[in-house]
Structures are given as C-alpha cells and as structure tokens.
C-alpha cells in the first residue's frame, strides 16, 4: 500500500488544530445563535468531531534508542443523518471514522522522515440509549473497518535491502467490531466523576475489501507457528473516568485504562492514559505495555510511553 505523504499529514494536522469543537445548541444563548451561524458560514465542516483522544506527543519505545514525535488523529463524521433517523430512530447515527497514527523522526534520522504506523478508516453505526437508571447501557456500536499501516514490503528480499525494515513491513486486515459502553452517572462530587466501562469484540476477516488476503504473516524470520492477529487482538475492555482533585491547580484528571487480549489466545496488553490541564494546556501522558506497539510487529511484546498535548 502507498505511504502517506508529508502533505497529507500536514492537512490532517491542520484539521485537528483548526476545526473547532462542536457546540451543543442548548449551550448557546438564544439571542446569539443566528449571529454565530451567519458569521462563520455554518456548513458541514462543523459536523466533524473527535472519536478517540487525538494527541501530539514526544514518545519513546523501551527497545529503541530513538526518541520520536508521535501524532495520533481520530475523527468521525455523520453520514445520511436524516435517512438514518427515519429508518432506525433518532438515537441512531452512521459515521465515517478515521484513526491515523504517525511517527516523526525529527531528532534521529536524516531528512526527519514521517512513518505511517496505522491507517484505520471505517463505517460505524452507533445507537445511543437514554439514561434509564444510575447504571445503564449508554451505547452500542458496530460497523466495518480496515486497519493497515500504509507500507509496502511483503517479501524477504525487500526486507533485507533497506534500513529500518520493520518500519516498512506491510500490514493490513479488515474487521467487524461490536462495542458496548456502560455509564455510571454521579453528581461529580468526591474523588470520581462519571464512570464509563466499555467492552469490545472484533471479528477479523480473511480478506481485505473482500478481495485481497489479509497481511499478518511473519515472512522475514522462521517461526515455529505462524501467528495471527487474533492471537493478540479481538477482545478489549476500557475503563474511563474523571478524577476530581480539589487541592491542586489541575482540578480534574481524565483517566482511562484499556486491556486487550487475543480472541484465539490470551496475550494481554495494557494501556493507561491521563489528561489534565496545566497552564491552560491539555497535558496528555500515556504508558503502554504489551503486544503490538506497531502493526508491523503485532506479535512482539514491548513498552512505549509519551507526553504531549491532547487536541480533543
């Protein structure tokens, strides 16, 4: 698959930095709503929102001496809103999703290359349930997604001819997710704010776009048993909350913990994330320990961590 260009990355970064967060109509003063809509022109760009946390961070892997800048962009855009509401109800939405991850080797490599690590577009259907009790099922999501790293090497001959070959090993597969998100509503006093728990299963398909074989084989070294992506991914759980700290300037810290395992074998990976405001900057930190720091080496265990700013 072709590599992402620098120009494309700049455009995506511009979207993340320039597109304003959507404002709910209930939050706007009634007398200023028409003026706001007229002044910025309105238009469909204002329907673009964040999906997962998007961030820009200085990162390091434990088995790599190269510090690098990591950029992660996650957005969603609603499609066919009117027909979907008519067919499936007003709480139903169909989204185009895009999640992309890039590493920028500005410190350690000639010409400071940008390496595409993850390209994850897809269509997502989401149904939001109304809060009916203190503990309730908040949403159900499913869809069809493609995940790859946008790279090109798929033979051992190519692997042996370039520097940093693991950065360019081609990976790609399609999957169907099913995710349930539960919410525990509170009055935002004490140590915890609202608490959310999500459970997700992924079914990986044998074909990409129903035509090409998926790419998850280890071809550059002998292996006793050929691994598959289902050995390291397929079952995910995520717990997220806001920690309320009244005696420090940050006041609130958004925290999440994600556990991931294979659906065919138990290979545990864990990721912890926290965001808090420091001098008006949304400071973001993360720590990951487990399998698949990158898609190219999804079967290898490692540690990575980073610090930066979160866009949304």
DSSP secondary structure of 169-200: B--EEEEEEEEEEEEE---S-SSEEEEEEEEE
**Structural domain contains residue 117:** yes
Write the CATH number for 82.
Answer: 2.40.230.10
Within a domain: 127: yes
269 exposed, middle or buried (CB, 10 Å; 0-12, 13-18, 19+)? Answer: buried
Q: Residue 267 is encoded by which pair of tokens?
A: 């290979």
Q: SS3 of 202, please?
A: strand
**Mean pLDDT of all residues in 35-48:** 56
234 found inside a domain: yes
pLDDT tens across 182-214, in order?
988 765 555 666 789 999 999 999 999 888 899
Query: Number of structural domains, the chain?
Result: 1
Q: Pull the structure tokens for residue 277.
A: 């405001």
Radius of gyration, CA atoms only, the chain: 21
State yes or no: pLDDT of 2 exceeds 50.
Answer: no
Q: Residue 289: is its pLDDT beyond 90? A: yes
- Tell me what the mean pLDDT of segment 163-173 comes to: 91
Report the distance separating Cα 29 and Cα 48, nearest Å: 22
Any domain includes 49: yes
Residue 128 inside a domain? The answer is: yes
Flag whether 195 is in a domain.
yes
Record the pTM. Answer: 0.81
The answer to whether position 179 is within a domain reads yes
Q: Which domain holds residue 21?
A: 6-310
1 occurs within a structural domain: no
Kindly state the DSSP code that residue 96 receives in the 8-state scheme.
E
């Amino acid at each position: 698959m072709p590599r992402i260009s620098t120009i494309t990355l700049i455009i995506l970064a511009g979207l993340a930095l320039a597109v304003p967060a959507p404002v709910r109509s209930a939050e706007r003063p009634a007398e200023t709503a028409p003026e706001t809509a007229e002044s910025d022109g309105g238009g469909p760009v204002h329907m673009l929102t964040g999906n997962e946390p998007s961030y820009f961070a200085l990162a390091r892997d434990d088995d790599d001496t190269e510090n690098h800048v990591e950029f992660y962009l996650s957005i969603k855009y609603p499609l066919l809103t009117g027909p979907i509401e008519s067919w499936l109800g007003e709480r139903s939405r169909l989204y185009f999703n895009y999640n992309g991850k890039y590493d920028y080797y500005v410190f350690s490599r000639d010409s400071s290359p940008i390496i595409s690590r993850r390209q994850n577009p897809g269509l997502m259907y989401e149904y939001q349930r109304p809060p009916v009790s203190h503990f309730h099922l908040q949403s159900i999501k499913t869809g069809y997604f493609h995940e790859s790293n946008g790279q090109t090497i798929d033979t051992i001959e190519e692997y042996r001819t370039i520097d940093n070959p693991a950065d360019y090993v081609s990976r790609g597969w399609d999957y169907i997710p099913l995710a349930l998100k539960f919410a525990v509503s509170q009055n935002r006093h004490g140590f915890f704010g609202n608490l959310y728990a999500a459970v997700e299963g992924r079914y990986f398909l044998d074909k990409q776009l129903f035509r090409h074989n998926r790419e998850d084989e280890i071809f550059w070294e002998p292996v006793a048993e050929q691994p598959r992506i289902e050995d390291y991914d397929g079952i995910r759980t995520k717990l997220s909350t806001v920690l309320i700290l009244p005696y420090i300037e940050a006041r609130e810290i958004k925290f999440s913990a994600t556990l991931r395992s294979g659906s065919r074998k138990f290979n545990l990976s864990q990721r912890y994330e926290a965001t808090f405001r420091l001098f008006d900057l949304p400071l973001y930190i993360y720590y990951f320990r487990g399998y698949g720091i990158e898609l190219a080496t999804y079967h290898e265990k490692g540690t990575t961590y980073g610090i930066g700013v979160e866009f949304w």
